[in-house]
Amino acid sequence: MERNTRQLSRGYAALFASIAIWSMPSLFQFYLVRYYEPFAQNFYRYSVACLAIAPFVFYRVRRGGPKIDLHALGVCLIPCIPNVIHQITQVVSLFYMGPGVYAIFNRSSVIFTALLALAFFPEERHIVRQWQFQLGTLLGLLGAFGVIWFQSNGQEPALSASRMGRHIAWPGLLIAFTATFCWALYAVLVKRPSAQLGAIRSFGVISLITSALSFPLTLLFGRIDAPLHAGAHVNLILIISAITCITMAHVLYYVAIQEVGVALAQTLQLLCPLGALALSAWIFHERLTSAQLISAAILLIGAFLAMRTKPTAAVETAENI
């Protein structure tokens, strides 16, 4: 009994720590985009995350278990492609909207993940007939659209081009949807390497491949010398964001789902946008219009309903890696 209590306490501590950490990724990215363009930012953040997870990977490998060979690299390569696209487009999205708005909109990935899982895993398709899933999907998509469509000039996006009293530009809308959809696709595709290698090994390999894929993109389209011009304090913030929001949160989340269960861990992750919005309002003075607040509530309710019936194939993946 005492052991179960300790495990439950550890699970809740890990869960709420991951919620607190995952309230901050869009804020870090919003701040860093002034110094690191999207390609360099994601290359260096994932490189730091890869180095941070490496000791845990080596420890697991020394203890035995699945080997990291060419087959493992091949399996991990597939989800890395949508992950790279997601990482770049989510930063570009912050040129059109504030970090709080994007954090709320990104919750629609729960619905996209479930829809993609239904397509990839036929045994789960009976779920689409459940009214909770149908209603949740409809509400979530309507809410997601409303959150970014009703953005006003009272918000402070990364660049002044979007500071107009009209709706968000269509390119920004398309980029935000692309980022969310690619994240959902990654969340489904990462199930196979995670099941074969385990959470730590799979994330170690995925972070390595993601960094490797981001390197030539940064050379071609970005600024590989960005750290030399950013300054020590900015580079320190980038390192902190990578270690906390990517590596540490990933490990904490898997501790949480092992100790308190996937359902509760997934449900409470819906608190992340609220934390992001509060922090963004405090730090960047971001404000949501009344229409956006109503849309955000609709989105979160829809995500909650859809998540109640989410396929088991989709719920084992970490959020905001």
pTM of the full structure: 0.78
Which residue in 53, 22, 23, 6 sits closest to 260, CA to CA? 6
How confident is the model at residue 41, as a pLDDT?
94
How confident is the model at residue 160, as a pLDDT?
40
How confident is the model at residue 43, as a pLDDT?
95
Helices 170-189, 131-149: inter-axial angle, 10-degree rounding: 140
Which tokens sit at 41? 């930012």
CB atoms within 10 A of CB 63: 7
φ/ψ (deg, to 5) at 288: -100, 145
Mean pLDDT of 238-242: 94
pLDDT at 156 over 60: no
Which residue in 108, 76, 82, 128 sits closest to 311, CA to CA? 128
3-state secondary structure the chain: CHHHHHHHHHHHHHHHHHHHHCCCHHHHHHHHCCCCCHHHHHHHHHHHHHHHHHHHHHHHHHCCCCCCCHHHHHHHHHHHHHHHHHHHHHHHHCCCCCHHHHHHHHHHHHHHHHHHHHHHCHHHHHHHHCHHHHHHHHHHHHHHHHHHHCCCCCCCCCCHHHCCCCCCCHHHHHHHHHHHHHHHHHHHHCHHHHHHHCHHHHHHHHHHHHHHHHHHHHHHHCCCCHHHHHCHHHHHHHHHHHHHHHHHHHHHHHHHHHHCCHHHHHHHHHHHHHHHHHHHHHHCCCCCCHHHHHHHHHHHHHHHHHHHCCCCCCCCCCCCC
**pLDDT above 70 coverage of the chain, percent:** 77
Mean pLDDT of the chain: 79
Q: Answer yes or no: are the C-beta atoms of 247 and 18 closer than 8 Å.
A: no
pLDDT at 158 over 80: no
pLDDT higher for 151 or 35?
A: 35
How confident is the model at residue 226, as a pLDDT?
94
pLDDT at 191 over 90: no
pLDDT digits (tens, 9 = 90+) for 40-96: 999 999 999 999 999 988 888 888 877 888 888 888 899 899 999 999 999 999 888
pLDDT band at residue 162 using 50, 70 and 90 as cut-offs: very low
Mean pLDDT of 3-27: 77
Mean pLDDT of 229-238: 93
pLDDT higher for 111 or 190?
A: 190
How confident is the model at residue 59, as a pLDDT?
85
pLDDT at 108 over 80: no
pLDDT band at residue 269 using 50, 70 and 90 as cut-offs: low
Q: Answer yes or no: are the C-beta atoms of 182 and 55 closer than 8 Å.
A: no
pLDDT at 310 over 60: no
Helices 38-62, 199-221: inter-axial angle, 10-degree rounding: 150
How confident is the model at residue 315, as a pLDDT?
42
Q: Lowest mean pLDDT: which of 67-71, 127-131, 217-221, 287-291?
A: 127-131
